[in-house]
Structure 1
């Protein structure tokens, strides 16, 4: 059974979240200090983390979580501020939700993140697309698609993290692993453009301006 940590200083919202996510055995913390104590006890599969907390920044807490391991984190932010969102994703957040949000959307995003936390299969079928990353076979509408090694890396990152926005800096770091000291961001833009062109207009590769890219999913 999955277990979730909710870090939210708004007590009414915190109670609402625990009810909405009751099936995930939620633990509610209102401050960074309470969250650190809960995290020390361990056993969580995901954390919902508010950025603005009374005794510190949720972004600092996110950094501590990332230093300790790979616990999935979804940020809750009251401000649709690009700087907060970019900083959070760069620090390693897996997703973010801007308040106010519907509980149905929240549950869908949490469920999607928990599914991605399981071991990813080497082959996946997504609508008109079939990708096998072991055999290196890729099809769109049943027709084979030839992808370069760089395009394969990008596609796998997007597909395995579908629904989440992946920052440009993270994609560059994960795709170009040949030890190059510097990779022009334009190289990523070109690779995304080529991948879109090969997969066709049905490919849900979306640009999140100022942040990065996502393989969009319904919900």
Structure 2
């Protein structure tokens, strides 16, 4: 796999390149948009794109990119407010991750996004419950659920790992990133409870595994 990373923070860029190269992912770094003017983006399998660059907006660049290319893009941002993230997703980003982030989590997101593109999977379903990865919208019987992005990410993780016990730390790390060190341990419990309520009858599929974490029970209704 060959990745293009457009990131002006040299410390972050070096750490990402070093880590991904160790996992046999070739990573090319550019620290501004002007350096990419003569690139053939089809030479890359995926782009890591910073939202705020010295010579322009990553969002505007993404909007332009989507007019000509369909390769996967993961936005890198220092903000995780829903409106800010949704702006990137609505302009064609396949996923996002907020800084600072865990390198293993970044790789997991890269693997997930790339795998979906290869398989051309834009949606995940369980009975009448559906997750749209493009819009980050969940629905039941075609009726949209009012999930925030963290609730969606937890539901996505559970459905992609059905009947697997997921450690609390793994969920916190994937959904909150490095921020989970500043998150109260009760935050995940409260978020899961809220997610169960929003899922209605499907909420019963989220099982608490005492001392471990949570599991999506694949048993049909």
Q: TM-score, normalised by structure 2?
A: 0.59
Please name the residue that 1:97 is paired with. Answer: 97
Please give the secondary structure, in 2, of the residue aligned with 1:26. Answer: strand
Please name the residue that 1:20 is paired with. Answer: 19
Q: CA contact under 8 A between 2:7 and 2:53: conserved in structure 1?
A: yes
Please name the residue that 1:68 is paired with. Answer: 68
Kindly tell me: are residues 3 and 85 of structure 1, through their superposed partners in 2, closer, same or farther at Cα, counting changes over 3 Å?
A: same
Q: CA contact under 8 A between 1:3 and 1:45: conserved in structure 2?
A: yes
Q: CA contact under 8 A between 1:76 and 1:99: conserved in structure 2?
A: yes
Query: Which ranges of 4 or more aligned residues in structure 1 deviate by more than 6 Å?
Result: none
- Provide the alpha-carbon RMSD of the alignment: 3.4
Q: CA contact under 8 A between 1:6 and 1:28: conserved in structure 2?
A: yes
Please name the residue that 2:4 is paired with. Answer: 5
Q: CA contact under 8 A between 1:33 and 1:55: conserved in structure 2?
A: yes
Equivalent residue runs for 1:120-135 within 5 Å: 120=120
TM superposition shift of 1:13: 1.2
1:127-168 deviation line (CA, Å, top 9, x unaligned): xxx96xxxxxx5xxxxxxxx4xxx6xxx2x54xx4xxx7345
Partner Cα distance (1:197, 1:104) in 2: 33
Partner Cα distance (2:80, 2:113) in 1: 21
TM superposition shift of 1:197: 4.4
TM superposition shift of 1:92: 1.1
TM superposition shift of 1:75: 0.5
Please name the residue that 1:29 is paired with. Answer: 30
TM superposition shift of 1:65: 1.5
TM superposition shift of 1:102: 0.9
Q: TM-score, normalised by structure 1?
A: 0.59
User: In the comparison of the two structures, how many residue pairs are matched?
Assistant: 155
TM superposition shift of 1:42: 2.7
TM superposition shift of 1:198: 5.6
Gaps of 5+ in 1: 125-129, 132-137, 139-146, 177-186, 205-215
